[in-house]
Amino acid sequence: MNSNLTLFERAKRVIPGGVNSPVRAFKAVGGTPRFIAHAKGAYLWDAENNRYTDYIGSWGPMILGHGHPSVVEAVVKAVETGLSFGAPTEREIELAEEILKHVPSMQMVRLVSSGTEAAMSAIRLARGATGRKKLIKFEGCYHGHADALLVKAGSGLATFGNPTSAGVPPEVAQHTIVLEYNNIPQLEEAFTLHGKELACLMIEPIAGNMNFIRASAPFAKRCRELCTEYGALLVFDEVMTGFRVALGGAQSVMGVVPDITVLGKVIGGGMPLAAFGGSVDVMSHLAPLGAVYQAGTLSGNPVATACGLATLKIISEPNFYAHLSQQTRRLTQGLKNAANQAGIPFQTDSEGGMFGFFMLDELPQNYAKVMTTDSPRFNRFFHGMLEKGHYFAPALYEAGFVSSAHTNADVDSTVTAAAEVFATL
């Protein structure tokens, strides 16, 4: 049996940092990543056969837990009839119809293979549809790694963003304005200065890349009003929240209607599948109908669509989210009680199967506040829980996820473990 450390050393020889996505490397929390050998229900087993109760769920997709029998059956059946054709299939129509049924702000949807691809395409579509270059995003929101979105706030509203990554030319970053989440005065000033040049405003309606921060109702309303007033498109990045916080996503919880919605994660059920959609008018700008080019060899892949459809079929059953929300709240309230008993400040929020927590005195409303968290203490919490067999996100700015496979006993054992860990913090 290979140890996690042996595998990590071997991986680092052939894959940059030993991982195919940076957050998996445990850089923020330190230590050795767990190399997962197999998973079932709410549990993961690593290469050393240690079992973990999983609160990452592949960063959101595994809303049914791992290896749900109906999903596995649908995937196996799809595999047996062909892996990929590069031609249209009926199942893509079925999945598109199912998505549109639950997200009424979309009249048409294009399937792609990753959230990054969906967000990147949504920006190109907004620019093509409006003939404008600039876009607004918010500090702490992550929309995948397309160049235009790897940008941090400039020195002021008049100046534009600066790249957060090497390899992103300033000429690209300059069209991106980065604002503070939940800051209405700043939002209004940005529209006054640049509104007529804005193609879109892209936002995570519940920011899962800042752990869990809701756009306040007045802020979300103002984003909608200003986009309408200035003719910019409001883009909700629901890659994480779509079908995770509710069947209709965060937009159904908030009652705000975006012009474009970006989806991913849950709609693929763990397979590479994402999507973006909007009105017929907006989506008709996309090739082959319109002049905005967008394409993909594996877009709408027949195995991925089978996995997504099987997942959506189960989560759209009555009371699915009522039960899931209950399990999530059982966890978050249990953690809060355990932390408070240990004298540790603990704020938490959740919606559906997505949650966040902050060892802070107040629930933060923006990125700067989130980053005041005592990260060494968070790291001790993370490792303490990992040692006890409970796998939380290896970074304090990441959200957590509960699946329908998590039982009361699973959640209660996590809370018991947390009480022991909090006592050591």
Query: Any contact of residue 34 with ligand KE4 (CB under 6 A)?
Result: no
Residue 333 vs residues 13, 347, 382, 393, 420: alpha-carbon distances, Å: 43, 10, 18, 18, 16
CA 71, chain centre distance (Å): 21
User: Quick one: which of 116, 176, 261, 294 contacts ligand KE4 (CB under 6 A)?
Assistant: 116
- Look up 142 and say whether it is catalytic: yes
User: Minimum distance between the CB of residue 263 and ligand KE4, rounded to whole angstroms?
Assistant: 9
Mark 389-402 as b/e (b = at least 16 C-beta within 10 Å): ebbbbbbbbbbbbb
Residues 394-413 as x/- pattern, contact with ligand KE4 by CB under 6 A: ----x---------------
- Write out the two tokens for 34: 């767990």
CB within 8 A of 117, min separation 6: which ones? 144, 274, 296
User: Quick one: which of 63, 119, 271, 331 contacts ligand KE4 (CB under 6 A)?
Assistant: 119
Whole-number Å distance between alpha carbons of 161 and 174? 5
Query: Any contact of residue 201 with ligand KE4 (CB under 6 A)?
Result: no
Residue number with CB closer to ligand KE4 (304 or 415): 304
Query: Any contact of residue 239 with ligand KE4 (CB under 6 A)?
Result: yes
Whole-number Å distance between alpha carbons of 319 and 201? 33
Query: Any contact of residue 21 with ligand KE4 (CB under 6 A)?
Result: yes
Mark 10-23 as b/e (b = at least 16 C-beta within 10 Å): ebeeeeeebbeeeb
Q: Residues in contact with ligand KE4, total (CB under 6 A)?
A: 19
User: Minimum distance between the CB of residue 1 and ligand KE4, rounded to whole angstroms?
Assistant: 26
Residues 206-225 as x/- pattern, contact with ligand KE4 by CB under 6 A: --xx----------------
- Look up 265 and say whether it is catalytic: yes
Residue number with CB closer to ligand KE4 (348 or 422): 348
Where in 137-166 is the site for ligand KE4 (CB under 6 A)?
Answer: 142-144
CB within 8 A of 254, min separation 6: which ones? 205, 215, 217, 220
Residue nearest to ligand KE4 (CB): 115
**Contact region for ligand KE4 (CB under 6 A) — 34-42, 164-172, 187-195, 202-210?**
202-210
DSSP string for 281-335: HHHTTBTTTSSB----TTTT-HHHHHHHHHHHHHHTSTTHHHHHHHHHHHHHHHH
**Contact region for ligand KE4 (CB under 6 A) — 70-78, 150-158, 204-212, 371-379?**
204-212
Residue 81 vs residues 77, 198, 306, 312, 313: alpha-carbon distances, Å: 7, 46, 11, 21, 21
Residue number with CB closer to ligand KE4 (20 or 192): 20
Question: Which of 360, 337, 356 lies closest to 348 in space, CA to CA?
Answer: 356
Residue number with CB closer to ligand KE4 (259 or 398): 398
* Single-letter amino acid, residue 218: P
Query: Any contact of residue 348 with ligand KE4 (CB under 6 A)?
Result: no
Which residues bind to ligand KE4, rule: CB under 6 A? 21, 23, 59, 114-116, 119, 142-144, 204, 208-209, 237, 239-240, 264, 274, 398
Q: What are the catalytic residues?
A: 142, 237, 265
